[in-house]
Structure 1
Amino acid sequence: MQRSRQAINREAAEVIGIQALGWLATQDDILMAFLGATGASMDDLRRGATDHAFLASVLGFLGNDDDWIRAFCDEVGLPYEQPMLAMQMLAGPSMMHWT
């Protein structure tokens, strides 16, 4: 069941990023794709839980595939737009919008 949309603050964004990292670690095929696409190692995954930029990259990667983002959100009970809002909060001003 989906929760209603909530505003995203830094703390909520961090929680969503950590949830996404944990979910990613349980999805062998998606995890291997992430590691291959980013060049990250398993050690980077372990350290990444405290790095906002890394958590933003996890959320951005999951957002590349609608099925992945839906599966993640369904498992943790988030509205589908929350991961992208969290990614934007974690990435901060480094995330440029050209549209």
Structure 2
Amino acid sequence: MANAASMREEAETIAVKALGFVAADPELLPRFLAITGIEAHSIRRAAGEPGFMAGVLQFILAHEPTLMRFAEETGTPPAAVGKALRVLPLGDDNHEHST
């Protein structure tokens, strides 16, 4: 079984691929920016913020056709995207539960 550090590294690699995938797509990028409220020129800085990369994966996972296209184009199994999300900071979906 992989250790936590290697799982985190793998999750970050998938998230970086996902960010590149979104950034390179002329339809996805504007939608991502609108949803997140981030300016295009601020993506690099935002990528270092806790939770940003989890947000990229949540964006990919929210739309199955996008997830399947990402999986096909990057050779990433769709299930690996969800697993990566759970490993990343703030990717545990606890923010969705009301208190």
Structure-1-length-normalised TM-score: 0.80
The alpha carbon displacement at 1:94 in A equals 5.5
Correspondence 1:1-99 to 2 at 5 A: 9-92=7-90, 95-96=93-94
- Unaligned regions of 5+ residues in structure 1, if any? 1-5
User: How big is the alpha-carbon RMSD for the aligned residues of Structure 1 and Structure 2?
Assistant: 2.3
| Structure number with higher relative contact order (C-alpha < 8 Å, ≥ 6 residues apart) | 1
Contact 2:18–2:57, Cα closer than 8 Å, also in 1: yes
Q: CA deviation at 1:95?
A: 2.9
Amino acid at match of 2:43: L
Structure 2, unpaired ranges of 5+: none
Deviation of 1:92 after TM superposition, in Å, equals: 4.6
* DSSP 3-state at the match of 1:91: coil
Q: How many residues align?
A: 93
Identity of aligned residues (%): 31
